[in-house]
Amino acid sequence: MKIIAIGRNYIEHAKELNNPVPKEPMFFTKPDTAILRNNAAFYYPDFSKNIHYEAEIVLRISKVGKNIEEKFANRYYDQLGIGIDFTARDLQDICKAKGKPWEIAKAFDGSAPLGTFLSKSKFDKMDDINFSLDINDQRVQTGNTKDMIFSFDELIAYVSKFFTLKIGDFIFTGTPAGVGAINVGDRLKASIEGELLLDFEIK
Ligand code: ZN
């Protein structure tokens, strides 16, 4: 099982971090040890002073595929969920400045909390799904998949050129604007179309 996470897939988020809007998808990976399930608490690590939340729609791959054509990509995932792509922004800024890989900033233990997944069949259109993140009952992020630069199908086609997708893999599809820091004691609640699917604490 692997996690593939797409960077800069919402224009407003690319702008808020002063990143250029990409011409093709960019992605990185996280190992299985990044996953937190069942609303488990996230323990703030001591190697960072600036961990950011990024709420993202997550696809669950349901079929093995390589070089998947965009027109068939929708057959390769069966469930959607919401997850958090925790990012050590201070370490990421250093990695970016030095041209180093992002793994220590993105792929650490617990950096990918996942909520309950929903069947894809619950949604009429993949390009009109609302999602949100609340911290301590304040709304901090709202997104709609219509604002993605690359659609789910385009992402699957692109990623599968490089990586064989296997059953149970996850694709984090990018975060909308509004990212920010978490603090010990915060409670994060993430929803798709108003349905609460992920609810956990920072310890
Ligand atoms: Zn992200």
* Ligand 1 ion: nearby residues, β-carbon < 5 Å: 54, 85, 175
pLDDT of residue 153: 98
Distance 98 CA to ligand 1 centre (A): 20
pLDDT of residue 12: 86
Distance 88 CA to ligand 1 centre (A): 11
Q: What angle do CA 197, 132, 68 make, to 5 degrees?
A: 75
Contact indicator for 37, 195 with CB cutoff of 8 Å = no
Distance 86 CA to ligand 1 centre (A): 8
- Report pLDDT digits (tens) over 35-69: 999 999 999 999 999 999 999 999 999 999 999 99
pLDDT of residue 21: 81
Neighbours of 98 (CB within 10 A): 8
Check pLDDT > 80 for residue 18: yes
Beta bridge partners of 7: 26
What percentage of the chain exceeds 90 in pLDDT? 94
pLDDT of residue 30: 98
Distance 182 CA to ligand 1 centre (A): 15
Distance 97 CA to ligand 1 centre (A): 18
Q: Please report which confidence band the pLDDT of residue 95 belongs to, taking 50, 70 and 90 as the band edges.
A: very high
Check pLDDT > 80 for residue 107: yes
Distance 185 CA to ligand 1 centre (A): 22
pLDDT of residue 37: 97
Distance 176 CA to ligand 1 centre (A): 9
* Total domain count, the chain: 1
User: Which residue range(s) make up the domain with 103?
Assistant: 3-201
Check pLDDT > 80 for residue 14: no
Distance 174 CA to ligand 1 centre (A): 5
Distance 127 CA to ligand 1 centre (A): 18
Distance 191 CA to ligand 1 centre (A): 16
What's the whole-number mean pLDDT along residues 134-158?
97
Least trusted range by pLDDT, from 4-18, 20-34, 52-66: 4-18
Distance 144 CA to ligand 1 centre (A): 15
Prediction pTM value = 0.96
- Average pLDDT, whole number, for the chain? 96
Distance 83 CA to ligand 1 centre (A): 10
Rounded to whole angstroms, the Cα distance separating 68 from 76 reads 9
Q: Please report which confidence band the pLDDT of residue 128 belongs to, taking 50, 70 and 90 as the band edges.
A: very high
Neighbours of 64 (CB within 10 A): 13
CATH number at residue 71: 3.90.850.10
pLDDT of residue 72: 98
pLDDT of residue 17: 81
What's the whole-number mean pLDDT along residues 84-105?
96
Least trusted range by pLDDT, from 5-19, 71-85, 90-104, 171-185: 5-19
Distance 154 CA to ligand 1 centre (A): 17
Distance 172 CA to ligand 1 centre (A): 7
Strand, coil or helix: 145: helix
Q: Please report which confidence band the pLDDT of residue 93 belongs to, taking 50, 70 and 90 as the band edges.
A: very high
How would you list the strands of the sheet with 3-7, edge to edge? 26-30, 3-7, 170-172, 55-61, 77-84, 118-119
110 DSSP 8-state letter: T
Contact indicator for 114, 170 with CB cutoff of 8 Å = yes
